[in-house]
Amino acid sequence: DQMPLADAGAAPMDCMHEDATKDPRWRGEFPWSSLLKLHLSQTFGIRSFRPMQREIMCASLSGHDVFVLMPTGGGKSLCYQLPAVIGEGVTVVVSPLVSLIQDQVAHLEGNRVPASHLSGPYDQEHYRQTMSMARSGELKVLFITPEKIASSGALLGLLNDLRDRNMLDRFVVDEAHCVSSWGHDFRKDYIRLRCFKEMYPTVPIMALTATATARVSHDIRQQLRIPKCLVFKSSFNRPNLRYEVRKKSPKTVIDDITSLLGERFTGNDGRIQSGIIYCLSKKECEDVAGKLSRLKQRNGRKLSIRHYHAGQNHQEREETQLMWSNNEIQVIVATIAFGMGIDKPDVRFVIHYSLPKSLEGYLQESGRAGRDGRKSWCILYYNYGDSRRITFLLETGAKENNVTKEQQEHNRTALDAMRCYAEEQVQCRRVLLLNYFGEKFTKDKCRGTCDLCENNQGKSFHEKDMTEQAKSLVMVVNALRLRATRSYLIDVFRGSMAKKVLKYRDDKLQHHGAGKDLTKTEAERLLGKLLEQNVLEEQTYRQQNEFQSIGCRLLVNQCRASTVFNGMLKITLPYLSTAFSGGAGADASEPEGDFDEIEPDAEDEHFQTARA
Ligand code: ADP
Ligand code: MG
Ligand code: ZN
């Protein structure tokens, strides 16, 4: 049934996929239960399943299409490798990088599981042997890169042949976010993978990713033509990672990193531990690496450090990555070109020298620390200038590359969220990070493992009643009807005088500027609180423009909202009580202390008029 959405250019869609995460059905006994258990220990040498692994396998073995969301290091590979081992036929796995595939094949062969690949360059003999082993069903796992699907008629012939003989057990799409242009690593060839469901509707698909956003995960299911699949989503909290934001002052930041390396990140052997420093540009990479490599370590040796970016040739990059993987160099200074395919277990720190463009990116990049489960650090250097710099880069980039309005809006919202994370003074960093991805997570579970929880221990807070502001915000969402994206809502609420906002001021919108006394950060926190309390809800929808893309907007849960309006639900936000402030009115609403150079509103000149 259609909702009246004409003015938003959008149509409703089933945002209700089947969340199977807590379904007790998959925890039960199945005919293959004991076989799974047997091969878990005998083939893989693993004693017990991690949370959700067994459930995912059972759902897939029952013939369902499944979509697995699990953070990096969570153990996604086993979810398809173990079912492949107990199956009669062949499991076909798509993975984006030859290096990832080689690692996987080596791992399986090490466990005596017949596996091979059709990817990258290979000789005739390898090809012939792989094809014949696959055809005979001797092969359990066949890895392919997505290009091969299009370029190899013989491969399609093989798939058809296997399917006809009931020997095609399942398709696996690893790193499935590559199929979404909203993801952080879109690969054109992944689009071809829709042919799995279109051409082989009866063969189950398992798609896996460490991407946490609702929009991307929705898009993946649409693109792979499995909108009704079962979804398994585990917590994205990584308890062994410590989160910290440090003030970035251009004059002292290198010294600051130096002392971190020399102290916190120096092991007992006097050697600096393994880590990554992410920079914004190629030039910044080279600068930072150059400055740091002049340093000497405690034992008098030079710190071995190298940079890595897309401007280097393939060989140079490969060599750097290999040296780092083998601990011949300790620190790699990189752009985000250094990313997928890194599965070094003992990365002890990921430092962001510059602000990432989104929390999605930050979760991915910082998540490369501590895969082995040991305590590791995620440190972000921040100043307001950096966020201005990125805004500028995004704007010029958008002009040069003809980026759509919608994508620009998306970029802006993403950066806003990243900035709020960096500027936060009160709320737990984990709460901010995980709530952003729609996961309910509370501060008590952090146990002082982020800088704010740690530093704010023993400090006093007061809860400030924000119920009136909350009501206004809800009214703005109602007034905007289906136009309420995050950033647009905040603009209207705070009374932006930008043209696209003013357009709606005269007619329906009486609450323009109702929240003009709040800083942007406060408004974002209030919005976050209302989402957490389910007063507002986020809904993804399919836009009927030429891109058929996915939008994300806010809706009022009228039932929950009525409890705010009738006084049953009070909305409060925590504020740090400063020693010198008088009453509850003078409080830490503006970023303070360490962040004194930040002017939260300087970028929005149009706000000045609104406030005057
Ligand atoms: P992901 O693909 O989710 O990032 P991997 O599949 O590479 O993670 O697994 C990460 C590590 O966890 C691997 O070393 C793997 O052997 C290990 N692992 C997976 N499942 C288990 C388990 N049930 N018990 C112990 N170790 C496991
Ligand atoms: Mg993986
Ligand atoms: Zn915390």
> Can you give the pLDDT at residue 182?
79
Q: Could you say which ligand is closest to the alpha carbon of residue 210?
A: 1
Q: From residue 563, how far is each of 470, 474, 568 by CA, in Å? A: 12, 12, 5
Query: pLDDT tens across 179-205, in order?
Result: 998 777 888 999 999 999 999 999 999
Residue 298, SS3 per DSSP? coil
Ligand 1 atom closest to 345 (CA):
14
**Which DSSP string corresponds to 383-420?**
-HHHHHHHHHHHHHHHHHTT--HHHHHHHHHHHHHHHH
Which of these, 159, 152, 192, lies nearest to 173 by C-alpha position?
192
Cβ of 77 closer than 6 Å to ligand 1, yes or no, is yes
The whole-number pLDDT of residue 554 equals 86
Assess contact for 551 and 407: CB atoms under 8 A.
no
Closest Cα to atom 10 of ligand 1: 73
C-alpha closest to that of 438 among 380, 486, 476, 394: 486
Say yes or no: CB of residue 276 within 6 Å of ligand 1: no
Q: How far apart are the first and last CA of the chain?
A: 46
Ligand positioned closest to the Cα atom of 367: 1
57 CA from centroid of ligand 1 (Å)? 14
Q: What is the mean pLDDT of the chain?
A: 85
| Owner of token pair 């093989």 | 158
- Give the model's pLDDT for residue 8: 31
Whole-number pLDDT of residue 12: 33
Give residue 2 CA to ligand 3 midpoint distance, Å: 42
Higher pLDDT, 153 or 306: 306
d(CA 171, CA 158): 14
- Kindly identify the ligand whose nearest atom is closest to the C-alpha of 56: 1
% of the chain exceeding 70 in pLDDT: 88
Confidence of residue 608 (pLDDT cuts 50, 70, 90): very low
Tokens of 318: 């490969």
How far away, in angstroms, is 382 Cα from ligand 2 center? Answer: 30
Residues 6+ apart with CB under 8 A from 156: 149
Weakest-pLDDT range from 81-85, 163-167, 328-332, 528-532: 528-532
Rounded to 5°, angle at Cα 31 from 25 and 37: 90
Give the span between the Cα atoms of 286 and 282, in whole angstroms: 6
Structure tokens at 596: 């004194």
The residue with greater pLDDT, 505 or 494, is: 494
**Nearest ligand, CA 110:** 1
Most confident of the ranges 213-217, 380-384, 503-507, 572-576: 380-384
Residue 46: CB within 6 Å of ligand 1? Answer: yes
Answer yes or no: is the C-beta of 49 below 6 A from any ligand 1 atom. yes
Does ligand 1 come within 6 angstroms of the Cβ of 87? no
d(CA 18, CA 203): 19
Residue 556: count of CB within 10 angstroms of its CB: 20
Contacts of 429 (CB under 8 A, 6+ apart): 243, 244, 245, 421, 446, 450, 451, 452, 453
DSSP 75-92: -HHHHHHHHHHHSSSEEE
Using the mean position of ligand 1's atoms as its centre, give its distance from the Cα of residue 372 in Å. 9
User: Probe ligand 1: pick from 36, 40, 43, 46, max atoms within 8 Å of CB?
Assistant: 46
Given a contact cutoff of 8 angstroms between Cβ atoms, the answer to whether 244 and 395 are in contact is no
Residues 490 and 496: their CA atoms lie apart, in Å, by 9
DSSP state of 273: P
ipTM over 0.90: yes
Tens-digit pLDDT profile for residues 342-363: 878 899 999 999 999 999 999 9
Which of 50, 105, 236 has most ligand 1 atoms within 8 Å of its beta carbon, as the pocket-test mutant? Answer: 50
pLDDT tens per residue, range 449-488:
999 999 988 788 888 999 999 999 999 998 887 778 887 8
Give me Rg for the CA atoms of the chain: 26
360 vs 70: CA distance, rounded Å: 14
- Cβ neighbors of 375 (< 8 A, separation 6 or more) are 240, 242
